[in-house]
């Protein structure tokens, strides 16, 4: 658990690393309204490194959902040099909807409500639209 600048409070972070062989299309994990989207230029360290979350080129989306705020941060990696977003602030987004992509070797950090039950483990391979990452906790 860590305080997150995007959700402005405590959040559980799940990082999904994508190698150059992965599909880099990103999907919405939970239906909600996109309340903000912030692009930040940066460096291009290997996306598997912790410092990539703060130093690399990234695009942060914050969703207002029935379970609370959820943030998705697209992070460009060592080879990736382009983040693409297909959504705009104010849009209502549906769970599973494609919202963007990152060109090659990249990562997405998902910040979830603090009482979330995480359903993945470190090193697990996940597939967008198929692998559940979490479910709401007792308060959700």
What is the CATH number for 92? 2.70.70
- Beta carbons of 46 and 60 less than 8 angstroms apart: no
pLDDT at 39 over 50: yes
Looking at the structure of the chain, the number of domains it has is 1
How does pLDDT run across 91-137, given as a tens digit for each residue?
A: 999 999 999 988 766 778 888 888 889 889 888 888 777 788 888 87
In a domain, 10, yes or no: yes
In a domain, 90, yes or no: yes
In a domain, 135, yes or no: no
- Beta carbons of 42 and 92 less than 8 angstroms apart: no
CA distances from 12 to 17, 112, 139 (A): 16, 5, 15
Domain that holds residue 107: 2-115
Residue with token string 């969703």: 63
15: tokens are: 């990082």
In a domain, 20, yes or no: yes
Rounded to 10 degrees, the C-alpha dihedral 129/107/110/59 comes to -110
In a domain, 127, yes or no: no
Q: Quick one: pLDDT at residue 6?
A: 80
In a domain, 134, yes or no: no
Confirm whether pTM is higher than 0.85. no
Residue 93 vs residue 20, higher pLDDT: 93
Catalytic residues: 106
Q: Quick one: pLDDT at residue 140?
A: 46
């Amino acid at each position: 658990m860590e305080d997150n600048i995007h959700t402005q409070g405590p959040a559980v972070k799940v990082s999904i690393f994508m190698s150059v062989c992965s599909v880099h299309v990103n999907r919405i994990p939970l239906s909600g309204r996109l309340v903000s989207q912030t692009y930040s230029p940066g460096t291009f360290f290997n996306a598997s490194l912790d410092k990539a979350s703060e130093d690399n080129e990234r695009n942060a989306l914050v969703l207002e959902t029935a379970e609370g705020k959820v943030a998705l941060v697209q992070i460009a990696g060592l080879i990736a040099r382009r983040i693409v977003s297909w959504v705009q602030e104010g849009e209502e987004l549906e769970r599973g909807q494609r919202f963007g992509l990152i060109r090659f070797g990249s990562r997405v950090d998902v910040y979830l409500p603090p009482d979330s039950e995480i359903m993945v483990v470190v090193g697990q391979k996940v597939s967008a639209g198929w692998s559940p990452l979490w479910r709401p906790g007792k308060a959700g």
